[in-house]
Amino acid sequence: MSSRTPDGKPLLPLRGEDSRLIQELIHDHCGLSYGLDSEYFLERRVGPRVTALGLGSYREYYHYLRYDPSGTSELETLVERLTTHETYLFRESYQLEAFSSEIVPDLIDRHANDRTITVWSAGCSTGEEVYTLAILLFEDDRLRDWNVRVFGSDISRKVVAQARAATYGPSSFRTTPDSVRRRYFSERGGQFLVRDEIRRMCSFGQLNLLTTDRFHMVGKCDVIFCRNVLMYLRAEARKQIVAGFFETMRAGGYLLLGHSESLLNVTTRFDLVHLNQDLVYRRPL
Amino acid sequence: MNDIELPHPYRHWIGRLSSAAWRERKEASAALLEQVERDREHPGRLADVADVLLDVLASPEALTERASCHEVLVGIGTTAIDPLLRRIAIPGASQRLLVDLLAEIGKPAHARYLHAIVVDPHADPNLRASAASALGRLGGQDAASILVGLLRDPSEMLRMHALDALRRASARVEVGELRELVAQRFTRKAAAAVLGHSASVEAVDLLVPLLDDKTSSVRAVAARSLVLLEADLEPMGRSEVVHRALRRASGETLGRVRELLAHELIEVQAAAIALCGMASDSEMVPLCLEVMDDPLLHEQVLRMVGRLGADAPLAVARAGDGVGGRAREHLVRIIGAIQGEVGAELVALLIGALGDAYAEAAVAAAEVLARVGDRSCLAELFRAMGKPGVLGAAAGDAIVALVQHSGETTDLDLIVGSVWPQTGDLAANLCRVVGELKSDRHAPQLVAMLGSPDVQVRVAAAIALGKVGGGHGGVSGLSFALADEEPEVRAATCRSLGWLAAPESLQPLIGATHDPAPSVRAAAVQALVALDRPTAWPRLRSIIAEESVFTVVVQAIAGLGSSELDEDLHRLMALCSSPEWEVVKAAARALARFRQHRATAALLGLLDHERWDVRWIAAEVLGERRDATALVPLRRAVVEERDESVQNVLRRSIQALERAL
């Protein structure tokens, strides 16, 4: 879509001061930095929003974001255009294996009294990870009469709505065993709907991870999956979010990051735990 | 140990750093970091704290407190550098800890302090490796020179550390220095990563064969390096060397590149897509549909398709079989990225997609048809124009583009017809189409539409009347619309009156600056500024004094830029000290046309502003004003300025003033 001003002229390229001001607002809103240094990418993503709002320049758009009562909601829309990341079910199997065979048994031992496990998928995108974790927990017979919740959050309203719809196309199953797909999904016209018993274990919400004061809505967590999210954020944002995770976790709770992510230079509050299948972080007991 | 006497909180918490309990040490370091933040204004005190902590860190007995000491020293930051540098050359077990600390808080100029450690063949290899890594983190030319020297070290481990550090520093290394390291299996991957920053065409012949390497991680690194290399060669006009080499690559090699699309790192996926574009490998197209949900990869795929040339339409048509939902939207976007003719088959696919149940695919189809469609698409687009929301608007835009392209005014008459609906999406979009095509023949219909019961139609008609141009009697119709009960209509009317720039718009627009809705006031002020009439200045001045909404004030300030009156100069100078920096920037911009020297002085004062964007604007405007008295302060400012972008603006302004002398 070509981006134009209300009087039909093409928008000037997004450069220099305006580009940096918009990047700064995005950083402050959600910590996102990855990809924004490419003015080509930023312009392609921001330009259509300027046109859609009938504004005449990127500077007007910046003013709109900062001063207009709808600015916050527009910022969410913009971030949505910058951050929807592709994912699929049963991604990074070694980590899921570590979750099922090492972390869950530990939680079962420690929570034998309250029989409650809460898992949070922070930055869940379209929900594949949430349903994957719910399936893994559902398959553990020891948890049959436990209160097991998997909560998924994402900054994008759009992907949270998709996650709630719980419907996936064939490409979401690229690493899912056929038997699992047959057992937990029902097919409708080439799309696959998550079965009710799994959906009942899951809930979703829209959450900007920088708003750590809202983390209490998740409740005390036993495991937080935050895979391939922190790597897109600025260092200060990472620190703030990880500090929020620490406070939200129960003692002994686990934090699982993407395979190329670590807490090096972020915090030393977590213990690094060497599981057989993976290295994970744990809030000290 | 030194005899520094620290204030009580520091002594207390530093003592607690040696607690046996992990939790207590954590508590102590957190408390110390809080205290450090409170004492930022006392660098001398912080330097004393750093001195004491460095002694603790260096103490062989202080094993438990090391990690916490390090954390606090990093928190102290640059103030800890001087005491650190006094200790770093002293051999001992703590030297490595100091090297690691320097890596975190040092600057490129500190590379020389690590030189002696790195080149000492008798030093502990682990210490040398740490120093090499630290050089990579410090970066800069000195660090790169030292690290290149280390590439010839007999120790494989040190060569490896040197390569990693060079990659981290994005250092430009001569290809000859890396050739042998690429040949060695152990150092191949790291050397390939450094080649990506070499900006040399010689690197191409080393990197392309690595796309076939047995190790997948080497293939991934080679792909990323080729993309980095191509980007660096592009400004030199040499990127074609990379493209040619990739076009010569075998089918097997390209197949391996395509496999990288399944890589877990997005950077590698993006590199694979980019390389396929450079190689004109159209077989990548269908595979890309699966990753296009990611916005970065989405844009990368569109770029790739743009590079495919004549093979693109056929490849895209093949990829389209059986594709639905979101993937269909991606496919449509891909068609839009094809350079040149797309062919009848793909146009038919786009027309079909206008009715797609997946709304985004239908919208994308309308947007792409605007570029690749022809007159045969008009009927279907007209039908789509009656659809609600974005699809109807996009179809209207497509009709405008196609009619403009064909130049046939009869097409417009066929589409618009003689009787318009009064309400609904079709009516609103018809207004938009007529406005975009600047069809003054239809002005009477547009004026009539200002009385539609449908708000969206009234907004569209108001905007369209502004675009159609003058001489159609629309100004009086629009003036009435300033009394519309809906603020969207009034704001659109203000914008249109500004575009029409008719003298009789002035008073209605001044009246609209009193509107209860801020959006209408902002639009009215913007239109007044566009009219640039001195009779509007008194109203703009009172808006600056009384208005509470920043967007309105910022617009009004811009309107005083052409007054050149002393009273406005004073007003703008006063606004330069506003706590709201967008107001300050607007005032600075408005000062550009004031010839009085005091305007220069006010702008020079802003070169010390805490916000980088205020300093940027002040520097830019000082360059535009051509007042040579600003030259010396600007030269001083460029030395003191810490922000690289602002430095560049300052340099440009200095050059402009020097040229003007």
B443 and B528 in one domain?
A: yes
Distance from CA of A259 to the nearest CA of B (A): 9
Contact B295 A265 (CB under 8 A): no
Question: Cβ distance B194 to B166 under 8 Å?
Answer: yes
Question: Is residue A2 very low, low, confident or very high in pLDDT (cuts 50, 70, 90)?
Answer: low
Question: Cβ distance B528 to B536 under 8 Å?
Answer: yes
- Torsion, CA A137, CA A143, CA A144, CA A150, rounded to 10: -40
Using CA atoms, how far apart are residues B134 and B118, in angstroms rounded to an integer? 10
Q: Is residue B477 part of a domain?
A: yes
Q: Is residue B189 part of a domain?
A: no
Contact A6 B463 (CB under 8 A): yes
Using CA atoms, how far apart are residues B33 and B76, in angstroms rounded to an integer? 8
Distance from CA of A1 to the nearest CA of B (A): 6
Question: Cβ distance B550 to B583 under 8 Å?
Answer: yes
Using CA atoms, how far apart are residues B114 and B137, in angstroms rounded to an integer? 12
Looking at the DSSP assignment, which residues form a beta bridge with residue A117? Answer: A148
Contact B299 A41 (CB under 8 A): yes
Picking from B593, B653, B649, B583, the residue whose alpha carbon sits closest to that of residue B622 is B653
Distance from CA of A264 to the nearest CA of B (A): 11
CA-CA-CA-CA torsion sign (B145, B151, B157, B158): negative
Q: Tally Cβ neighbours within 10 Å of residue A31.
A: 23
Contact B293 A260 (CB under 8 A): no
H/E run at residue B626: none
Binned average pLDDT, 10 residues per bin, chain B of 661 residues? 77 90 84 91 90 89 85 92 92 89 94 93 92 95 96 93 96 96 95 97 97 96 97 95 96 96 90 96 92 89 90 86 82 92 92 90 94 91 91 93 84 75 92 90 88 93 87 76 92 92 88 91 92 93 91 92 92 94 95 92 96 96 94 94 93 94 79
Picking from A208, A213, A220, the residue whose alpha carbon sits closest to that of residue A123 is A208
Residue B446's Cβ-side half-sphere holds a number of Cα atoms within 13 Å equal to: 34
Question: Which residue from A41, A66, A68 is facing B296, i.e. has the nearest CB?
Answer: A41
Q: Find chain A residues with C-beta within 8 A of B646's C-beta.
A: none
Which CATH number goes with the domain that contains B630? Answer: 1.25.10.10
Q: Is residue B72 part of a domain?
A: yes
Using CA atoms, how far apart are residues A135 and B152, in angstroms rounded to an integer? 54
Q: Is residue B26 part of a domain?
A: yes
- Give chain A's end-to-end CA distance (angstroms, integer): 54
Question: Is residue A1 very low, low, confident or very high in pLDDT (cuts 50, 70, 90)?
Answer: very low
B528 and B604 in one domain?
A: no
Question: Which residue from A81, A190, A260 is facing B265, i.e. has the nearest CB?
Answer: A260
B407: left (phi over 0), alpha (psi -120 to 50) or beta: left
Grouping H, G, I as helix, E, B as strand and the rest as coil, residue A255 is strand
Residues contacting residue B570 through CB under 8 Å, at least 6 positions apart: none
Distance from CA of A48 to the nearest CA of B (A): 12
Closest-CA residue of A relative to B267 is: A35
B596 and B529 in one domain?
A: no
Q: Is residue B11 part of a domain?
A: yes
Distance from CA of B295 to the nearest CA of A (A): 6
CA-CA-CA-CA torsion sign (A181, A187, A189, A191): negative
Contact B265 A190 (CB under 8 A): no
The pLDDT value recorded for residue B616 is 96
H/E run at residue A198: helix A196-199
- Give chain B's end-to-end CA distance (angstroms, integer): 60
Contact B294 A86 (CB under 8 A): yes
Which CATH number goes with the domain that contains B88? Answer: 1.25.10
Looking at the DSSP assignment, which residues form a beta bridge with residue A202? Answer: A150
Residues, chain B: 661
Question: Is residue A4 very low, low, confident or very high in pLDDT (cuts 50, 70, 90)?
Answer: low
Contact A20 B266 (CB under 8 A): no
Task: Give the largest CA-CA distance in chain B.
Answer: 95
Contact B467 A45 (CB under 8 A): no
Q: Quick one: tokens of A172?
A: 């979401």
B95 and B7 in one domain?
A: yes
The pLDDT value recorded for residue A127 is 95
Q: Is residue B366 part of a domain?
A: no
A82 near B CB under 8 A: yes
The pLDDT value recorded for residue B440 is 84
Domain boundary among B68, B84, B106: B106
A34, A64, A67: which to substitute to probe chain B, counting the most B Cβ within 10 Å? A67
Q: Is residue B343 part of a domain?
A: no
Contact B293 A84 (CB under 8 A): yes
> What DSSP assignment string belongs to B202-253?
HHHHHHHHHTT-SSHHHHHHHHHHHHHHHHHHGGGT-THHHHHHHHTS-HHH
Contact B291 A81 (CB under 8 A): no
Grouping H, G, I as helix, E, B as strand and the rest as coil, residue A222 is strand
Using CA atoms, how far apart are residues A2 and A11, in angstroms rounded to an integer? 9
Using CA atoms, how far apart are residues B630 and B652, in angstroms rounded to an integer? 13
Domain boundary among B82, B106, B130: B106
B600 and B524 in one domain?
A: no
- Torsion, CA B317, CA B321, CA B324, CA B330, rounded to 10: -30
Quick one: A64 exposed, middle or buried, by C-beta within 10 A (0-12, 13-18, 19+)? Answer: buried
Q: Find chain B residues with C-beta within 8 A of A67's C-beta.
A: 549-551, 582
Residues, chain A: 285
DSSP state of A258: -
Question: Cβ distance B587 to B578 under 8 Å?
Answer: yes
Q: Find chain B residues with C-beta within 8 A of A68's C-beta.
A: 519, 551
Closest-CA residue of B relative to A227 is: B264
**What's the pLDDT tens digit per position in A139-173?**
999 999 999 999 999 998 888 988 999 999 887 88
Contact B613 A20 (CB under 8 A): yes
Cβ-based contacts under 8 A for chains A and B: 77
Alpha carbon distances (Å) from B321 to A6, A174, B199, B314, B527: 38, 20, 41, 12, 51
Closest-CA residue of B relative to A18 is: B613
Q: Find chain B residues with C-beta within 8 A of A34's C-beta.
A: 296
A20 near B CB under 8 A: yes
Q: What is the CA radius of gyration of chain A?
A: 21
A285 near B CB under 8 A: no
Contact B67 A44 (CB under 8 A): no
The pLDDT value recorded for residue B472 is 57
Q: Tally Cβ neighbours within 10 Å of residue B372.
A: 20
Grouping H, G, I as helix, E, B as strand and the rest as coil, residue A124 is coil
Using CA atoms, how far apart are residues A249 and A258, in angstroms rounded to an integer? 18
Kindly give the pairing relationship between strand A191-194 and strand A249-257: unpaired
Residues contacting residue A188 through CB under 8 Å, at least 6 positions apart: A167
Closest-CA residue of A relative to B468 is: A7
Contact B613 A17 (CB under 8 A): yes
A19 near B CB under 8 A: no
Q: Quick one: tokens of B78?
A: 């640059």
A63, A66, A231, A270: which to substitute to probe chain B, counting the most B Cβ within 10 Å? A63
Span A198-220, mean pLDDT? 90
Grouping H, G, I as helix, E, B as strand and the rest as coil, residue B655 is helix
Closest-CA residue of A relative to B491 is: A54
Using CA atoms, how far apart are residues B500 and B463, in angstroms rounded to an integer? 11
A265 near B CB under 8 A: yes
Using CA atoms, how far apart are residues B336 and B371, in angstroms rounded to an integer? 7
Helix axes B185-195, B175-183, angle to 10 degrees: 150
Contact B551 A86 (CB under 8 A): no
Question: Cβ distance B551 to B513 under 8 Å?
Answer: no
Question: Cβ distance B77 to B39 under 8 Å?
Answer: no
Span A172-184, mean pLDDT? 91
Domain extent at residue B597: 589-661
The number of folded domains in chain B is 3
Residues contacting residue A64 through CB under 8 Å, at least 6 positions apart: A53, A55, A70, A71, A74, B551
Kindly give the pairing relationship between strand A147-154 and strand A116-122: parallel
Using CA atoms, how far apart are residues B516 and B496, in angstroms rounded to an integer? 19
Using CA atoms, how far apart are residues B5 and B44, in angstroms rounded to an integer? 13
Domain boundary among B518, B535, B552: B535
Using CA atoms, how far apart are residues B256 and B544, in angstroms rounded to an integer? 63
B90 and B5 in one domain?
A: yes
The pLDDT value recorded for residue B418 is 63
Q: Is residue B644 part of a domain?
A: yes
Question: Which residue from B297, B463, B554 is facing A63, i.e. has the nearest CB?
Answer: B554
Interface of B with A (CB under 8 A): 22-23, 26, 67, 71, 104, 264-266, 290-297, 299, 324-327, 367, 370-371, 394, 436, 463, 466-467, 495, 499, 519, 549-551, 554, 582, 612-613, 616-617, 645
Using CA atoms, how far apart are residues A247 and A264, in angstroms rounded to an integer? 19
Using CA atoms, how far apart are residues B265 and B451, in angstroms rounded to an integer? 57
Alpha carbon distances (Å) from A65 to A26, A78, B526: 10, 10, 18
A268 near B CB under 8 A: yes
Q: Tally Cβ neighbours within 10 Å of residue B371.
A: 17
The pLDDT value recorded for residue B471 is 63
Contact B67 A81 (CB under 8 A): no
Distance from CA of B628 to the nearest CA of A (A): 25
Residue A107's Cβ-side half-sphere holds a number of Cα atoms within 13 Å equal to: 27
